[in-house]
Amino acid sequence: MTRLFNNPAAFADEALEGFAAAHRRLVRRVPGGVVRATATAPGQVAVVVGGGSGHYPAFSGLVGQGLAHGAAVGNVFASPSAQQVHQVARAAQSGGGVLLAFGNYAGDVLHFGQAAERLTAEGVPCATLAVTDDVSSAAAGESQKRRGVAGDLAVFKTAAAAAEAGLPLAEVVRLARLANARTRSFGIAFSGCTLPGADAPLFTVPAGRMAVGLGIHGEPGLAERPVPSADEAAELLVSTLLHELPEGVESPRGQRAGVILNGLGSVKYEELFVVYRQVARLLAEAGVETVDPEVGELVTSFDMAGVSLTLFWLTDELEPLWTAPADAPAYRKGTVAPVAADEPSTTGEAPEAADPDPVENTAVPEASEPSRAAARTALAALGAIEATVRAHADELGRIDAVAGDGDHGIGMRRGSEAAHAAGRGALERGAGAGTLLHHAADAWADRAGGTSGALWGVILRALGTALGDTERPDAHAVSVGVDAAADGVMRLGKAETGDKTMVDALVPFADALSDAVGGGAPLAAAWDTAATAADAAAEATAGLLPRLGRARPHAEKSLGTPDAGAVSLALIVRAVHGALSGSTA
β-bridge pairing 183-191 and 289-296: unpaired
Domains of the chain (ranges; CATH) run 8-331 (3.40.50.10440), 369-581 (1.25.40.340)
The whole-number pLDDT of residue 277 equals 98
Judge residue 349's burial from the number of C-beta atoms within 10 Å of its C-beta, 0-12 exposed, 13-18 middle, 19 or more buried: exposed
The whole-number pLDDT of residue 347 equals 34
Q: What is the pLDDT of residues 78-108, one digit of tens each?
A: 899 999 999 999 999 999 999 999 999 988 9
Q: Rounding to the nearest 10 degrees, give the CA dihedral for residues 140, 145, 149, 153.
A: 90
Task: Quote the percentage of the chain above a pLDDT of 70.
Answer: 93
CB-CB neighbours of 553 under 10 Å? 24
The whole-number pLDDT of residue 127 equals 98
β-bridge pairing 209-212 and 256-263: unpaired
**For residues 97 and 45, is the Cβ–Cβ distance under 8 A?**
yes
Element containing residue 312 per DSSP (H, E)? strand 305-313
Task: Quote the percentage of the chain above a pLDDT of 90.
Answer: 76
Cis peptide before 351 (omega within 30 of 0): no
Task: Please give the average per-residue pLDDT across 295-305, as a whole number.
Answer: 93
pLDDT band at 479 (very low <50, low <70, confident <90, very high): very high
Over 70: is that where the pLDDT of 358 sits? no
Greater model confidence, 282 or 582 = 282
For 191-216, the DSSP string reads: E----TT-SS-S----TTEEEES--T
CB-CB neighbours of 574 under 10 Å? 18
pLDDT band at 356 (very low <50, low <70, confident <90, very high): very low
Q: Is 217 a catalytic residue?
A: yes
Greater model confidence, 360 or 399 = 399
Task: Please give the average per-residue pLDDT across 65-83, as a whole number.
Answer: 94
The whole-number pLDDT of residue 34 equals 98
Q: How far apart are CA 2 and CA 361, in angstroms?
A: 37
**DSSP tally for the chain: helices H, then strands E:** 17, 14
Task: Please give the average per-residue pLDDT across 405-420, as a whole number.
Answer: 90
Q: How far apart are CA 414 and CA 400, in angstroms?
A: 16
How far apart, in Å, are the Cα atoms of 185 and each of 302, 379, 549? 19, 47, 19
Of 228-237, 295-304, 400-409, the range with the lowest mean pLDDT is: 400-409
Greater model confidence, 223 or 74 = 74
The whole-number pLDDT of residue 402 equals 82
Over 50: is that where the pLDDT of 350 sits? no
User: In sequence order, which residues have a C-beta less than 8 Å from that of residue 462 and are 6 or more positions away?
Assistant: 481, 482, 484, 485, 487, 488
Over 90: is that where the pLDDT of 51 sits? yes
Q: What is the pLDDT of residues 495-526, one digit of tens each?
A: 999 999 999 999 999 999 999 999 999 999 99
The whole-number pLDDT of residue 320 equals 98
Task: Please give the average per-residue pLDDT across 552-558, as a whole number.
Answer: 59
- Amino acid 230 reads A
Q: How far apart are CA 153 and CA 148, in angstroms?
A: 10
pLDDT band at 449 (very low <50, low <70, confident <90, very high): confident
pLDDT band at 459 (very low <50, low <70, confident <90, very high): very high
Greater model confidence, 7 or 229 = 229
Over 60: is that where the pLDDT of 401 sits? yes
Q: How far apart are CA 246 and CA 176, in angstroms?
A: 15
Average pLDDT, the chain: 91
Q: Quote the radius of gyration of the chain (alpha carbons, Å).
A: 24
The whole-number pLDDT of residue 377 equals 95
Q: What is the pLDDT of residues 273-297, one digit of tens each?
A: 999 999 999 999 999 999 999 999 9
Over 90: is that where the pLDDT of 130 sits? yes
CB-CB neighbours of 522 under 10 Å? 13
**For residues 76 and 92, is the Cβ–Cβ distance under 8 A?**
no
Q: Which of 111, 217, 392, 420 is catalytic?
A: 217
